[in-house]
Every structure is written in C-alpha cells, then in structure tokens.
Structure 1
Amino acid sequence: MDIGFIHIGMMKTASTYMQNIWMKDNSYSLSWKGNIPFLHTLRDSVKKDSLQEEPSLDTINVDIPYQEGQKLVISNEGFSTGYLNDAPSQQKMPQFIDYASRSLGRLSGSTPNVLLVVRDPITWIKSIYVQSIKQGSSGSAQDFIKNQYGFLRHSLDLEHIVHCYKRYFNNVLIIPYELLKTDESLFWGTIAERFQVPHPEVTINHAINTSLDLKRTFLLSKTNEISSVLLNALVDSKDYTNMQEKNQIVSNYGNSGKWVHRRFVEYAADEQVDEMYRLLGMSQPREDFFDVKLPRVLKKIIEANYIGFLREYLLPEFQEYADFYDQNLQQHFSN
C-alpha cells in the first residue's frame, strides 16, 4: 500500500471531519478505526512499563478495502497524546509519545510525511474540558485544569512531540485548525502540495462532532458527579455484603451510566433539559463554571513549548496564527 502520510492529531482539531473526508474520497484509503488496537497496545505497554518491543505493524488495518493507486492515510489523534481522565498515568505521556513515534517510525521507509494540526491553546483547553465531561468526569473548567494538569502540559508540549517524530520522519507539517474553518481549500491544498497527495474532492457540509453548549455541559457535569457519589457509596459500603450483586451493579452502572447522561444532554429537547435542572434544584449554570485562567507555570510552558515553537516551525504564511494564539493566552492568565 502507498502510504501518503501519518496524521497524529492534535485532539479536538476536526480529526473526525478529516477522517470522513479521506474515507469518502476515492483518491484515499484510511486507517482510522483499524489502528485503534495498535494504539491501545502502545498505551497499555507504557502504563505497564513493558517496552521491550514495539507492537506489530500488522495490527494497523485499513477501514475499507484498499484500491491500487490510492493514498493511504494512517490517522489517529491518540498518536500525540493520551490518558485523558487518567491522572495517575499522565506523568508517562512524554514516554508514551516517544514510544508511539518510535513504533510508527518503522513506517518511515514507506513515507517521510507526518501531519499535525494545531489550535489556539485556550479554545483547545475548553474543548478538551468538554470532552473530558463527555467521557464521565465532573467539575468546572478550572477544576479540570488543576486535576489534569499533566495531560495539558504534555499535550501542549509541541516541541517534544515534533522532536520525537522528526527522529524518524523528515517531513512534519504543522497546520492550524483555524485555517480549515476559514479557508478549507487552502487547508487541503497546503497538505496536498507538501505531501504530494491529491486535493480531496469530497466535502461534508455539516459538523461531524457538535459541541455541547454551556447549559448542557454543566448538566452533564452534575449528573456525572451524582453517578460518582452513588458508585463510591456502594463500593465503600461495609453493610452491602452481597459482593456478587454489588460488583455486578457497580460494573454495569459504571459502564453504562455515563453514556445515558451524555446521550441525554446531546439529544434531549430543551424542555427536558429544563426539567432536569428543576429536579436538581438548579436554574442555570454556575457563573464561573466555564472560566479558564491558567496558572503561571502552565502559561510559561505554552509560551515556550507551544507558541514559541510554532513561531519557528509554522510556514511563513501561517505566522499570524501564532500571534493570535499568544494574544488569547495573555487574556486568560491568572496572576
């Protein structure tokens, strides 16, 4: 198969949208869901400190049958970050990125090309925060920054991510997510020219992943918090001695509860959301729930390893994005 390039993220930079474009365009073949087992092996190996050998490349499969002449894109935003909502593992993120790049580096003989899509760090943090709520966490945006600081600092260390991949791939393209929103043709054209691949002819006229508004995000955070209290009470109860029943309830509810809450806030009518607010004794989201103020250390990391790195690495025609990122960062700094 002719590998056009490897797309490694970042998270929340329209990865699903792009993957659907590649899947629908006849010029491309895609490995997306087909490389998830490979990714999971990488993550589990790092968590267990079991890095003797990289996982087999045979576990990277295409999502639809490959046709001769197509360009294969291997795409997963998890290749540049990991362990969201898993705070104990986040200290291993630099090691994970190193290991992922080394494992994928065995494909460098088939392609020198790696794509990394970046985004304004403040709007990225807000979007990642909402994603963490969708995955079952709770609390405000400021709680998220405090409790998952390791995830944020390592995910925004572009210097480390690019350094790791450039050891094996000599054509790493960084392109702003905001360009996709303002000039999609230029976005795809830049990739096509840099990697010598076709400009996609397919477009999708609706968002693949829609964001939750503030009201629904706050409700989901609260229902996740209630689930956590319920589960912890059952787990910690010394009076609940039927262990088989307890384990079954905890396991079943723990796996399904977050999905019930998430799908409710995603698909319930406005009147149903209002009814949930009334049942929980709430009238509106907490005023400061979505506020983002960065601590000094995280701000300095973003300035040096994210924005500073981008100023040196972005194509000249995209330097204005680094300026915009910096301006927005200064407005969200907590002294």
Structure 2
Amino acid sequence: MMAHDYPAKFIHFGLPKCGSTFLQNVWGVDDQYTGVSLAKAANAARQLALTDNAANLPRVDLGARARVGTSLVASAEGFSWAYLGRPAEQDRIADLHRLAARMTGQVAIAPVALFMVRNPVGWIRSTHEQVIRRGDHDTGQAYLVKHRTLIERVLDLHHIREVFGQHFERVVFLSSDEMRDQPDQFWDRYEAELDVLRPARQSIERVTESERHSNASLQDRMVPMARMNRVLSGIMDAWAGIEGAPPTIEKEREVFGGSFDKARVWAARRVSEYSSADQIEALLGGAFAEMTDGFTDLPLDGALKSHLRRHFCDVIDTQDTIPEAMKDSYRAALA
C-alpha cells in the first residue's frame, strides 16, 4: 500500500517525557491538523500486555477523518510506557511495544511511527520527578533501583526500532531537545521527515505560553514535595496501622482511607506546583530536612550506562534525523 492511501500521516507513540503533551496540544489547536488521540487503544494494549493471551488483538479505530485541507495525525504515548507505580510489572513494557506495533500496524493507519527522544539522563531525571509528583519520596538512588526495568525498557530504542519496523514503512526518531533549543532547525526537519507542514507560529506560541505554567518542572520544589509526600504518607501509614481501635474508627478508616490516600497525592502536588520552596518549607517546619542532601543524585552504575549506550545511543548514532552535536551529548552523558 502506498503512503498516500493511509488515513493518517503518522502515529506519535512518545516517548513519554519528551514533549508529548506539547505536541498533542499543538496539533489540537492548529488549523492545519486533525489530531486524534489513541489513548483508549493504548489503555487496552497496556491491559493486554499483562496477560499471555495476545492472539486476538482489539481493532484500533481512529474515530475521525481528516478535516478538509488538514493532515490527520494520531497520538498516544501510553503505547510506549506503563506501570509507573508497579515496578514488578515493568518488564512487560517490551510486550507492550510489540502489541502496540501490531495493533496499530495491522490496520494500516499511517506509514510512519514517530518517537521523540531526549538526553537519556535528562529523561531519567524527569521520570524521577514524575514519581515524586505521584506521591513517592524515593531518592534518585532509590528510584534507580526500584524503576531500573522501566528505564531499560522505555529507552530500548533497538527493540522499538525492530518491532515497529516490522509493521510500519518507517520509524522516525526526532529530538525534543532540538525542538526546545533549536526550534527552527527542528521544524525544518519535522516537515521533511513527516511530510506535513509545520504548525503555525501562533499555535506553537499559544501552547508554549499555556504549558509554561501548567507543565513546568518543580526545580527547587521537588525535594520539599518529596518531604511533604513522606509526611502525608506517614500519616496514612499510621492511620492504617492503628491497633485495637473501636469499630467506629475502623469504619471511618474503611470509608475514608482510600480517598485520603488519593487526595494527599493531589494536595501535595498542587501545593508544590503553586507555592515557592520557601512557602513549602514553612509548612514542613523542618520535617525530614535530612532528605535534602543528595536527594536528586542519579548514580547510574556501569551496567546501566552500558545498556543505554548499546540500546539507545548506538541506535541514535545511525539516525540522520538527530543533530550530531546532540548525539555526542547523549553519549557523553553516559560516559
């Protein structure tokens, strides 16, 4: 089948933490695009990847046609990662990639599978922050131990290129670092590789301004948030561990415990996003201040660095869609 017979120009599969939300929002507001979310199909793939029965795959339906004069693009980063809060299941991400490629490839939606990438150490740092936003309080070192499989599987570009290459005409890797730091050069490359027009400058600026506040890094508020998470999760643990409580207290815990455990995550997240580090410190009153030293350090061991050099950098080095200077910086980060 020739490329012009496909309903969509490409499917954007992630990677997560590589500008996915930004791109999805740009495609959503730009008049040159019809953007379609495949999140429902990605959720189905995530569930299926946890089983050993992948014989009958659910059919992926775009659910829309391109508006006249627009390019249709589909997107769901959920196809490329999962199980962030379930480390024991993260090895299944390799199965998720295989299923995602088969599910989307078999219905011939698009000729191109697009993956955005970034500096691998920057990606690891960003996902560490993500687990803090989700309510954890692991140090960088503890995060590397707990989520090592997530890192190895999501950043396994060798596997991604292999499995998606079996079902798509082309697998394209572009750099979100270039998109951020050298936008004119990036959008030139984007047009050439994906056979679409770049989004209008007004669309990019509109989304950039919106995301400047809603999706900004925690920066100096990350460690205070982790400390707040530790306080609140400690309260949850203490409440759950009360022994010999009268039936009325047991009932309260049964009714409200789950809601509190969910709400404390969002409360800490929103307070951290919209407060300064000093304001959060005033709330904490010095609680768990010892966590600050070395909290964000990421001591990657030699085996993990070697894995990423082979499965990430070696693949990137074969691509002419990534600037040479960025290829060098990615490898240097893992030296």
TM-score (norm 1): 0.88
Residue 287 of structure 1 pairs with residue 293 of structure 2: yes
1:233–1:141 CA distance, 2 compared to 1 (3 A): same
Q: Partner residue of 1:248?
A: 255
Q: Partner residue of 2:3?
A: none
Q: Partner residue of 1:102?
A: 102
Residue 307 of structure 1 pairs with residue 279 of structure 2: no
**Percent identical across equivalent pairs?**
23
Q: Distance in 1 between matches of 2:296 and 2:26?
A: 32
Q: Distance in 2 between matches of 1:120 and 1:251?
A: 37
Instruction: Give ranges in structure 2 of 5+ residues lacking alignment.
Output: 1-5
Q: Distance in 1 between matches of 2:329 and 2:68?
A: 42
Question: Following TM superposition, by how much is the alpha carbon of 1:189 offset from its aligned partner in structure 2, in angstroms?
Answer: 2.1
1:193-212 matches, cutoff 5 A: 193-201=192-200, 202-204=203-205, 205-206=208-209, 208=211, 209-212=215-218
Asked whether the 8 Å contact 2:45–2:79 carries over to 1, the reply is no
Q: Distance in 2 between matches of 1:135 and 1:66?
A: 36
1:154–1:281 CA distance, 2 compared to 1 (3 A): closer
1:68-83 matches, cutoff 5 A: 68-83=68-83
Asked whether the 8 Å contact 1:3–1:72 carries over to 2, the reply is yes
Letter in 1 for 2:8: I
Q: Partner residue of 1:155?
A: 154
Q: Kindly tell me the number of residue pairs found equivalent between the two proteins.
A: 321
Letter in 2 for 1:55: P
Residue 29 of structure 1 pairs with residue 29 of structure 2: no
Q: Distance in 1 between matches of 2:278 and 2:121?
A: 32
2:270 to 260, 263, 268: 263
Asked whether the 8 Å contact 2:79–2:100 carries over to 1, the reply is yes
Q: Residue by residue, what CA displacement relative to the aligned partner does 1:278-316 show, whole Å, maximum 9, x if unpaired?
A: 25263x86221111110122111101000012112x107
Q: Partner residue of 2:43?
A: 40
Instruction: Give ranges in structure 1 of 5+ residues lacking alignment.
Output: 331-335
RMSD: 2.2
3-state SS of paired residue (2:297): coil
Question: Following TM superposition, by how much is the alpha carbon of 1:124 offset from its aligned partner in structure 2, in angstroms?
Answer: 0.9
Residue 223 of structure 1 pairs with residue 228 of structure 2: yes
1:15 to 17, 20, 31: 20
Question: Following TM superposition, by how much is the alpha carbon of 1:70 offset from its aligned partner in structure 2, in angstroms?
Answer: 1.7
Asked whether the 8 Å contact 1:85–1:137 carries over to 2, the reply is no
Q: Distance in 1 between matches of 2:277 and 2:320?
A: 44
Asked whether the 8 Å contact 1:2–1:70 carries over to 2, the reply is no
Residue 57 of structure 1 pairs with residue 60 of structure 2: yes
Letter in 1 for 2:75: S
Question: Following TM superposition, by how much is the alpha carbon of 1:107 offset from its aligned partner in structure 2, in angstroms?
Answer: 3.5
Q: Distance in 2 between matches of 1:207 and 1:118?
A: 22
Q: Distance in 2 between matches of 1:164 and 1:236?
A: 47
Q: Distance in 2 between matches of 1:316 and 1:266?
A: 35
Q: Which moved more, 1:146-155 or 1:316-325?
A: 316-325
1:110-125 matches, cutoff 5 A: 110-125=109-124
